[in-house]
Amino acid sequence: MASSNENGVKGQFWDLNEIEEVRVGMGQLIFLQSPSVILEAGETRRLTRIWMVCNATDWTDVRRLYQARVLREQHLHITEDMIKSRPAFDFDISPVMMTSIGEHQIDVTARKALVAPLPVNLAVDAPKGWMAELHLAEPSGNDREDLSRLDGHPLQDQELLSMKVIPTKDIQDRFAIHTGSLNLTLTSSRRTPFHIIQLGASGNKVVVEESEEEGLKVFTVRNGLTEFKVSADYGGCLYSLKNSKGTELLVSTFPTAEPKPGGMLQNYFGGVQPVIWDDAFDEDLTGALTNREKMKAKVIEHGVWKGVEVSWVGKVQVTTRGVKIRLQYLTTPGSPLIMTRWIIDNVTSAPVSFYPSLYVDPGFDGDPSQMVFRTEWEGRVTDIYSGQIPAVPIPSSNALWVRKGDSDTDSEGLGVISPGSLPGMMGIFLGPFMMMSTLDLTVKLQPKETREIVNCFVVNPEKQDDLAALQSVLSDLL
């Protein structure tokens, strides 16, 4: 068992074979009982052992010590599911994705780890500019004066609830992120946030045009707020991205790929560059030939999303030989969001393993001198500036934001978001050279198995909290 606060992580662990009863309350261990024994005269016996961990950096440190001391295992292979602990009460709340303003119903599933019946108080804290109602799946018949709360409700595990959210006249027709919470009160309280995502302005549309630039076939995507360009002839890269001010947010060597001075990729294309690599086949990150594959592109639609799909079958790279790969760049009308979606299909007869990555080279009209990394690093929002000492931040929230200078009044820049709670991103910062990357270390496909990976780019984010909110619902955006 472990608990964390601003001072670090503390924990306790014990051998379950030596314990008969465990009681937990108020977020801490309050009672351990060993089995009853009868001692002979003069006999001394150790009944149980408890280890106290006073200063750990993460919950997994406590678990690792438990594995070593109690289970006598020397190594622990951490997976994301192992890191997730289960609270006494929790809620699964579906986020709302809307393309036009209106009322929406949000499905809520209660999670209860305790068997004992306990009446709880539930209340909805609606986002600013919204009203909210909380309803039972099976109405009790009792009229409530305040529809935003339920008092003394005997909450059950897997119980279904619903919230109705109603916009007021203060909600504008544009991209926005609204965050509220469902609050549970017992002897202690728990706040479960939920999000309403306005994907964009309803008066716009996504237009995709095919043309030729510098002898290469190019797809240009406009949604009324942003514009980006993708070319299968240029390594499948998204090589240009402009915001509503017309500022170019990416750096590339279009139309000819060539190494960038001070860069790390031998096959540098720039922009948003897909790279698949695996050290096992001597195809490391710096020399991977992903962008030399023969690719094709087409217009693609996925629900309310529209954009360009680049596809290829691995031939040049040994790592992906015979594997079908699709990479989609998608957006919605009037939205600052650009979603990337890998669809990797192992149609071969052998298992494959590799690392799909997106390398992002940002710059404001080609000038990286004023760029600042903003990210949550070791639990704190931190700004990282250019210098002669290399900085390689690995965000703890899988969200990176490249800003133009350090002014909070000018949010011009680019945010990059990856899924999951385990670190899957990094930034590289040295003098005028800057690069961001997303990385998935878990692609191990059996024959005929398919894997999807999504990432999100945010043009001109307004605040770090918006990136955190989008990261928490990333898998629901598409």
Tokens read off for 11: 């924990």
Tokens read off for 396: 């703890």
Residue type (1 letter), 366: G
Q: For the CA atoms of the chain, what is the radius of gyration?
A: 26
- For CATH 2.60.40.10, the residue range(s) in the chain are 89-198
CATH class for the region spanning 89-198: mainly beta
Tokens read off for 336: 């600052």
Q: What residues in the chain have per-residue pLDDT under 50?
A: 26, 75-76
- For CATH 2.70.98.10, the residue range(s) in the chain are 207-477
User: What is the model's pLDDT at position 313?
Assistant: 97
* Maximum C-alpha span of the chain: 95
Tokens read off for 330: 């998608």
DSSP state string for 294-326: --EEEEEEETTEEEEEEEEEB-S-STTBT-EEE
User: What is the model's pLDDT at position 451?
Assistant: 93
* Beta bridge mates, 357: 275, 439
Q: Across 281-412, where does the E strand assignment appear?
A: 296-302, 305-313, 324-331, 337-345, 352-360, 371-377, 380-384, 399-404
* Beta bridge mates, 321: 314
User: What is the model's pLDDT at position 228?
Assistant: 98
Find the distance separating the first CA and the last CA of the chain, reported in whole Å: 36
Which residues contact residue 441 at a Cβ distance below 8 angstroms, ignoring those fewer than 6 apart?
355, 424
Is 358 in contact with 438 (CB distance < 8 Å)? yes
Determine if residue 20 is left, alpha or beta; phi over 0 gives left, psi from -120 to 50 gives alpha, anything else beta. alpha
CATH of 207-477, one of 3.40.50.880, 3.90.226.10, 2.70.98.10, 3.30.360.10: 2.70.98.10
Is 437 in contact with 204 (CB distance < 8 Å)? no
User: What is the model's pLDDT at position 7?
Assistant: 58
User: What is the model's pLDDT at position 23?
Assistant: 74
User: What is the model's pLDDT at position 172?
Assistant: 93
User: What is the model's pLDDT at position 408?
Assistant: 63
Q: Taking Cα atoms as reference points, which of 89, 146, 139, 87 lies closest to residue 117?
A: 89
10 Å Cβ neighbour count for 159? 17
User: What is the model's pLDDT at position 127?
Assistant: 94
